[in-house]
Every structure is written in C-alpha cells, then in structure tokens.
Amino acid sequence: MTDHQPQRDQVLHVVHDVLGAEVAGVFLHGSAVLGGLRPDSDLDVFVVARRRMTDHERRNLLRGLLGISGRGARPGEPARPVELIVVAQGDVRPWRYPPRCEFLYGEWLREEFERGEVPAPAVMPDLAPLITMVHLGDTPLFGPPPAQLLDPVPHEDLRRAIVAGVPELLADLASDTRNVLLTLARVWTTLATGTVTSKEAAASWALDRLPDRHRPVLARARSLYLGGRDSLADPADPADPADPAAPVDPVDPADSVGTGSESWDGEMPAVRAHVDVVVRAIEQLAERGGH
C-alpha cells in the first residue's frame, strides 16, 4: 500500500458519494504518479464527469473535501493537501481552447471556502497542461484509461496555456517564491524542449543554461522542494537526484509546494534578477512559437 492510498480511497468515496453514476473516470496525476510525492506535495486527482455539476453537488463535494484534505483531516488520518478538478466530458471532448473547468478544490483556497465561497465553473487554460499530465500519468483510479475519455492537447494550446499563466505567477513571487521559481523553470523547459517534465528536472535543465550569478536562488528552491537543507546548494552537486529526462509533474501554476518557515526576504533582489532572465527567455521562445 502506498502512503497516499488511504487518503486516495477517501477522495474516491467522496467523489462517488456526490456524483454517483455520473463519474466517467477518476485519475491520479502529478508527483504521486510519476515523480514520487515530495514532503509538501499535493495529492492531485482529476475527475471526468458525464455532465456538468449542479450547485447542490458542488456544495456537497466541497464539504466532503474540506474534511479530508490538509488540516481538515481528522487526527490520525492522512493529511496531504488534496487538489481535485472536475471537468464535464462534453466540455473537453472534442478538445477546444480555452477549456472549461467545472470544479476546482485546492488547500490554498481553504480560507475562501470556509467563508462560504463555493467553487464555480470557469474557463481555465491551465487544464491544458493538467490534461497533458493525466495522459502521461495514465493512472486511472476508476474507469478506463484517460485516452478513452480525454482528447490529447495540441502542443500549440499547451504552449498558449503555460505562457498565459506567467503574469499570475509573477504576481505571487513575493508570497510563493519557491513555487514561482520552479514553475517558471518548467515553463521555460517546456517551451524549449516540447516536453513536460518534473520540477526538479526542469530546474536542473535551467541551471545548466543560466549564467552563474543567477543560479543560486533556483538551486535553493530545488533543494527545498526535494526536502533537502535550506541553503544555497551547489547547482552542480553530483549527488543531485534529479533526472532531466524524466517526464513528470505538469506545468501547473496552482501546484502547491508549502513553503513552511523558509524565508526569501534577504534574497529578493537576487530572486527578481533571476526571474527577469528566465522571463526574457520565455518571451523569446513564445515569440518564436516554442521549440
């Protein structure tokens, strides 16, 4: 049994309890499938429903997830943050851009949900990299393989989606520094190579291409993500476990990497200088249409 299986089973129970026979497929994706869960990784679940959800179903699904995700879990039960997305199959197959998301739950939204807000349907370009990741992971928890329910995302739409998310990432730089640094590295890597890779693999790829003076902050972000020491790690450390060839985590700006007590305050000038270099590289690739 994997360390996330009990919580995975809880999520499945909540989804089936709310949507019943309308559930066409449930898929695990992200680090749990292809990269290995890191200390702060979410449990990422993607649900394909046969139809759009009702308001009553949204409220019930939210209530169920609040009780099993992150700090909402009962003492002694698994407590990883859950990120769960629901799409109606008819909204994503045949594929069209931008796609519509029926329901999004993430722990970073918990305070809003506890104040009474309920996830609402919305156009969500980020579904492009997420659906790409679901196909790559190919790990159904219920139902057939994803290829039977979801069309593949054209590369041009994947490119458009990840570039469109950059301004939102930059707005979160001060409050979510580690995640922004790692996600920008993945955007750059995906545009340059046409391949979706893990955060650590993307960071390794970027570190090999950055000027020396812009490497330390990304090396620190990678070390923290991998659960290592909080230091300006040597980017060229031969003991680094990252494998740049491994296709893992999607380019997902909403991906949660809890920052705990780490502080970047004293490094923000270096962080912003690093980000300027990476964003220029992304803009140049976007203008050329990617790799």
Phi-psi region of 245 (alpha: psi -120 to 50; beta: other; left: phi over 0): alpha
How far apart are the C-alpha atoms of 89 and 25, rounded to whole Å?
10
Classify burial at 26, counting beta carbons within 10 Å of its beta carbon; exposed 0-12, middle 13-18, buried 19 or more.
buried
How far apart are the C-alpha atoms of 204 and 130, rounded to whole Å?
22
Please check whether residue 86 is in contact with residue 119, taking contact to mean a CB–CB distance below 8 angstroms. no
Please check whether residue 31 is in contact with residue 69, taking contact to mean a CB–CB distance below 8 angstroms. no
How far apart are the C-alpha atoms of 2 and 43, rounded to whole Å?
12
Instruction: Take residue 176 and report the two structure tokens written for it.
Output: 């979510």
What single letter denotes the amino acid at residue 171?
A: A
| Catalytic center residues | 83
| Residues pairing with 28 in the sheet | 45
CA 160, 161, 162, 164 torsion: positive or negative?
A: positive
Instruction: Report angle CA 20, 24, 26 to the nearest 5 degrees.
Output: 90
Classify burial at 243, counting beta carbons within 10 Å of its beta carbon; exposed 0-12, middle 13-18, buried 19 or more.
middle
